[in-house]
Each structure stands twice: as C-alpha cells, then as structure tokens.
Chains A and B, each alone.
Chain A
Amino acid sequence: MTNEARYKRAFSTLHASGNLMEVKTMNDTRKRVIPRLVAVCAAAALVLAMAGVAYAADVGGIQRTVQLWFYGDQTNAVLDIRGDEYTLVYTDSTGEVHERGGGGIVIGPDGSERPMTEEEFLEQLDQPEVEYSEDGPVAVWWRGRKLDITDRFEDSVCYVQLKDGGDTLYMTVKYNDSYATSPHSYPDPDTFSGG
C-alpha cells in the first residue's frame, strides 16, 4: 500500500461537524462565525501607529489606514471595522495580499463576556512573532526588530524581555508550541499551550 493511500485512509475519518445552514445563518445575521476566534489576526503583524480615519464605509463600517510590521518590513494596511468585527488587509514585500480577521468576545476573569473593543484588537496586533527557520535558528520579531533566541531555550522554554522605549513585554516561548506575553511578568509556561 502506498503512503498516499494510507494517508488518505487515515485522514478520511475527519469530517466537519457543522452544516451549510449554520454558515448561511451566520452570514445572514453577520454575527461572529468564530466566537472563540477572539484574536484571529495578528501573529505576523505589529501595528505601530494609526494614521487617522480614512472614510466611512457603506454599511456603517469604518476603514482606517494603519502601519504595521511584517517580519521587519513596514507596510500600510487597511483596517475595516464593522461592529465588533475587524478585518486587516495588507500587502507584503512580495506583493502578496494578506487578510486577517479578528474581533469577537473578551472573556473576563469572572467568566463574563463582552465585545472586543477596537483598542483591544489593535493591542493584539502589537504582539511579537516567533519565527522558526528551516535550519534551526529561532527568532522573535517585535516592532520591526529581530532577536535571536535560539540558544536561550532550557527544557524547551525560553524567557525573553522585550523593550521598546517605555514599553516592556515579558515573553515566555515554548519551543515549537506557543508563546504568551505580559507587560508585568513572565507567563507561567504551564498555563498555556498551542494545543
């Protein structure tokens, strides 16, 4: 039996749980399709500054032009705000157009839920990005700067303090898994996971 046939047999067990009616209903009502997709965007993008309101869109949405960092390249992006949903469209240095969505809900410590604000969405975009290179090096990108953290891992965990002007970010990176940040202290690696 070929690898291809084995693979197809093994993965044919995966089936979507939803149905088209759910999708249509969500589309018609323009609700969040991904209620748990609170911070869909952002991994590669760092917003540094907003360049002001551009214009009002057709159905009450607002578009703004923002500047962001994409792996060290600064570029402009269009942020489309519709209610509590946000879409960010930008073009990278190769000309490829990327679209990121976000918004949704914020879950408080007491379990309460509320819509994410635009400010919170933009804060998410200001998160660092971890880059794993083919030949082994691991780097953190933040605000257009790159920090090599390859040799900083101990037991697959690395702690990085990032500073930019008056801003400080404490970052805990789990190798090939996930990371978390806090402006106050290093997040406990046992409290988060990439799944």
Chain B
Amino acid sequence: MRLSAAEAYEKYADRVFAAAFSVCRDRADADDVTQDTFMRYLARGQDYRDEEHLKAWLLRVAVNRARDLTRAFWRRDRASWEDAMAELPFEEPADRGLFAAVMGLPERYRVVIHLFYYEDYSVRRLAALLGLREGTVKSRLSRGRALLKNILMEDWNDDE
C-alpha cells in the first residue's frame, strides 16, 4: 500500500514533527526534519506492507534525521527548548510541567518515552524501530519513567 503524499502528510506530519522535536528540542530543526522526511517519502516511491509499516518508516527517518542534526559538530547557539515551550499553547497547566520534565531528560530516554507514550509502541516494536535490543529499550524506558516520577511526583503514575 501507499498513501498519496497529501494523505501521508495530513495524517503523519504532526507525529513526525513531535518525534523530531523529542530528539532535537528545537522547533525550526523539527520543521526541517519533517520536511526532509516527507521529501524522502515523495522520492522513495515504494509500497509499504501496511499503514503501520509506513508510519514506522516515517518515524524512523525522522528520529535518525533529528539525531544526525543534533550531533552535528557545527550545531550551536540554538534557541533553548524552554523558549520554544513558552510559546506552546498547553491545554492544562500540568501539561507544561510534563512537557518540561520530558524535555529535560537525556535524549536516549526522551525518544523511548515519547514513542512509547505518544505513539503506543511496544518494547519489541520500539527495539525494531530504533535498532536497539529489547533489553536496552526496557532499561531506558524504566530509567526514563523513574526520572519522570522523581520530577513530577504525584503527577506521574507508577506504571510498568
């Protein structure tokens, strides 16, 4: 199967952007990554097994691109994620605290936490998407949750 570019963008652009933002924590960079990801989708022209496969491909490209961007040696003097967050319209005041807590996590925890809670990815599928061992994903998920619990206290449940 293959969605038209318009359909794919309509359905997944915000998800791709959110995944990219969870890595690079910069709105302009996340927009750049989103555009690059969909340009690759346009250029690729291949079929996917199903829509889940397509979504996983988009998210993998976005995460890898965002990582490339953040690791580039020249990257410096970017706007802080706190500044970016200040402009976001959160539905509830507590959402800002959760957002800030996640953004404050090291990248290796942020990505796993984001894809688990926002994209409903299982440990197994996360491992496949990120190219990690399942044990590593579990470890990062567990550590990320513990850090969030430590910051958010009663605003974050103990769940496994």
Contacts and interface: CB of A to CB of B under 8 A. Distances in A.
A102 B14 CA distance: 24
A179 B9 CA distance: 34
Interface in A1-57: 2-4, 6-20, 22-24, 26-27, 33-43
Contacts of A176: 106-107
A178 interface: yes
B71 A20 contact: no
B42 A42 contact: no
Nearest to A193: B76
B38 A23 contact: yes
Given A20-B38, A42-B72, A132 B106 contact: yes
A27 B139 contact: no
Given A11-B114, A16-B17, A176-B106, A23 B39 contact: yes
Interface string B71-85: 111111111110000
B24 A27 contact: no
Interface in A170-195: 176, 178-181, 191-195
B95 A26 contact: no
Contact of B35 (A34, A39, A41, A191): A34
A43 B76 contact: no
B69 interface: yes
Majority DSSP secondary structure for residues of B touching A: helix
Nearest to A123: B73
Nearest to B106: A176
B98 A10 contact: yes
- Which bucket holds chain A's interface residue count? 35 or more
Contact of A100 (B5, B34, B68): B68
- Which bucket holds chain B's interface residue count? 35 or more
B91 A33 contact: no
A154 interface: no
Given A11-B18, A36-B29, A191-B76, A2 B118 contact: no
A7 B117 contact: yes
Q: Which of A7, A127, A181 has the most CB of B within 10 A?
A: A7
Contact of B67 (A4, A12, A17, A43): A43
A134 interface: yes
Contacts of B18: 11, 14
A19 B113 CA distance: 27
A178 B76 contact: yes
A134 B140 contact: yes
A192 B117 contact: no
6 contacts: A6-B156, A11-B22, A23-B5, A34-B32, A39-B73, A40-B69
Given A20-B10, A101-B68, 12 more contacts: A3-B156, A6-B155, A10-B90, A11-B22, A11-B99, A36-B29, A37-B36, A40-B69, A41-B68, A134-B136, A176-B107, A191-B77
**What are the 3 tightest A-B residue pairs by CB atom distance, in nearest-first order?**
A43-B71, A192-B76, A10-B95
